[in-house]
Structures are given as C-alpha cells and as structure tokens.
Amino acid sequence: MTVLLWGMVLALLIPIAVACRPTNVWHRLAAFSSVSSKVALIILVVSVGRGDWMLGLVGVIVLSAGNAGLLLLANLLREVER
C-alpha cells in the first residue's frame, strides 16, 4: 500500500512538472485536469489506508464536483481566443 502511494505521488509529479513548464495554455489545462483527478484518487487511497472515511468523503466530493471550474475556464478561453 505504501509502495502504491509513492507510485501515485510520482505519477502526480508528471503533470505538475508539465504545468510548471512554459507551454501552450491548452497543454497546461490538460495537465491541470490530470492533477485534479489524480489528487482526488490519492485522497481516496490515503483514506482507505488510514481507515478514516471522513477523508474519503472529501475525495468523493472532489471527484463528483469534478472539473467543473476547469470546464468553465476552457469555454471562457475559447471565447477569448476567438
């Protein structure tokens, strides 16, 4: 379980690194969406590992609220770029 968690954090570092690099804004948005779902999954795994379900509830809420903000941002960017 600990190995798994480390692996997940390592995988999380990939999109974070991409988001920090100077790239196109769309690539960055994709990286951020990836960060958001990865973080939610990590929260869930941590909550299972600790047996603390209140933490898991937070993860579930993050997952089901989803990327609504990013979705709006993408639409906004399209309108701006037009």
Binding site for another protein (CB under 8 A): 4, 7-8, 11, 14-15, 17-18, 24, 26-27, 29-31, 33-34, 37-38, 40-41, 44-45, 48, 53, 56-57, 59-60, 63-68, 70-71, 74-75, 77-78, 81-82
Contact by Cβ (8 Å): 74, 33: no
Minimum CB separation of residue 78 from another protein in Å reads 4
Q: What angle, rounded to 10 degrees, do the helices at 68-81 and 25-50 form?
A: 180
Measured distance CA(37)–CA(81) in Å, rounded: 26
- Provide the 8-state DSSP code for 67: T
Minimum CB separation of residue 11 from another protein in Å reads 4
